Chains A and B, each alone.
Chain A
Amino acid sequence: MMEMLDCDAVMRQMWDFLDGELPLERMRALEAHIAMCERCSGHAKFERSFKAALRTAREDGADSTALGARVLAALRREGFTDPRGA
C-alpha cells in the first residue's frame, strides 16, 4: 500500500524529489500526492521551471579545441604519448 503524505511532508522533500534522490517508494508517494494536490503541483511546477532556468546557464557550446591542444602539449612534456601518434 502506498504511503500517504501531507503537504508539509511533500514540501520538505520537494528538492529531493525533483532531483530524483528519494527511494523509489517515496518518489511514488510524492508523485501521487503532487498529482492530486493543487498547492503542491503549483509548487512543483515553479521549482521545475527554476531548475530549467538554471540549465540555461550551461555553456554547452564552449569550444575546447584550443584548450585541448594546450593540455595535450603539456601532457607530452610529462611523457604522455598520444596513442593517435599526433
Chain B
Amino acid sequence: MTESRRTDGEFETEALRHLPEVARFARSLAGNDADADDLVQDTFLTAYRQWHQYERGTACRAWLFTICRNRYYRVRERAQRQVATDDPVLESLAAAELHRSAQEGGLSDAFERSEVREAVQRAMAALPEVYREVAVLVDLHDQTYETVATILQVPVGTVRSRLFRARRLLQGSLLAFAVDAGLRPRGATPSTRGLAS
C-alpha cells in the first residue's frame, strides 16, 4: 500500500466518520441546508489539505469543528468580532432568579412540556451567534468547556460566560413563549421579572 493510500485510509477512518456531526454543527452555524452543505464540503476539503497537520490520536471531531467554524467566519468575512463580557457568576445567579420567577408563574415544569420543547430550535436559532455557537457545542454536541475553548480559540472563562448567558437567553425566550402559549395555569399571578434579557 502506498503512503498516500494509507493516509487516505486514515482520513476516512478518523475524519470522514464525523461527517454527520460536522453537518449538524455546520447547519447550526449557517442556518440553512444549502449553505451548511457548502460549508461541510469546504471543511473536509480543508481538513484533507491540512491532514498532515492533524496530530494523530487527538480529538479529530474538535479539530474538524475548529476548521468548520474558521471556514464559516472566513467565508462570511466576519470579524473575530462580537465581544461578550458577561460575568458567569452573575449569569448563574440570574438563572436562579429566573427559576424563582418561573415558579411564581406556575412554570417550574415548563421545559418538560412538549409545546416548549418544540420551540427550542427556534429559540436557539434566534440567539446571537456568539452565544449560539457555544450552546450548540456544549448542549447539542456534548463538548467540554475546554474543548470548546480550543475550537473557538478563547479562554475557558469566556466559554463559561457565553454559555451561561446563552442559556439564560434561551430560558427567557422559552418561558416567554410558554406564557404567550397560555401554558401558565389559569389564575396564577403572571411574573415576567427576569424572563427578558
Residues of A within 8 A of B (CB): 8, 11-16, 19, 21, 42-43, 46-47, 49-59, 62, 64, 67-68, 70-72, 74-75, 78-84
Distance between Cα atoms of A8 and B4 in the complex (Å): 58
Which of B92, B108, B160 has the largest count of A CB atoms less than 10 A from its CB?
Answer: B92
How big is the B interface, by class?
A: 35 or more
Contact call A57/B8, Cβ cutoff below 8 A: no
Main secondary structure of the interface of B (DSSP, over half): helix
- Tell me which of A12, A43, A72 contacts B99 (CB under 8 A): A43
CB contacts (< 8 Å) of B55 on chain A: these are none
Nearest CB of A to B114, in Å: 9
Contact call B19/A68, Cβ cutoff below 8 A: yes
- Tell me which of B8, B99, B121 contacts A47 (CB under 8 A): B99
Contact call A70/B93, Cβ cutoff below 8 A: no
- Tell me which of B49, B96, B109 contacts A43 (CB under 8 A): B96
Contact call A19/B145, Cβ cutoff below 8 A: yes
Contact call B41/A74, Cβ cutoff below 8 A: yes
B112 at the interface (CB under 8 A from A): yes
- Of the candidate stretches B65-73, B74-82, B164-172, B184-192, the one touching chain A is B164-172
B24 at the interface (CB under 8 A from A): yes
Contact call B109/A83, Cβ cutoff below 8 A: no
Taking A54-B135, A57-B120, A71-B41 as contacts, is the C-beta distance between A46 and B111 under 8 angstroms? yes
CB contacts (< 8 Å) of A83 on chain B: these are 5, 8-9, 12
Taking A46-B99, A50-B167, A80-B48 as contacts, is the C-beta distance between A11 and B93 under 8 angstroms? yes
A75 closest partner in B (C-beta): B48
B124 at the interface (CB under 8 A from A): yes
What are 10 sample pairs from A and B whose C-beta atoms fall under 8 A apart? A11-B96, A14-B92, A53-B117, A58-B140, A59-B24, A68-B16, A70-B41, A75-B44, A75-B45, A80-B11
CB contacts (< 8 Å) of A74 on chain B: these are 41, 44-45
CB contacts (< 8 Å) of B40 on chain A: these are 67, 71
Contact call A12/B93, Cβ cutoff below 8 A: yes
- Tell me which of B23, B44, B164, B170 contacts A15 (CB under 8 A): B164
B159 closest partner in A (C-beta): A21
CB contacts (< 8 Å) of B174 on chain A: these are 50, 53
Contact call B111/A12, Cβ cutoff below 8 A: no
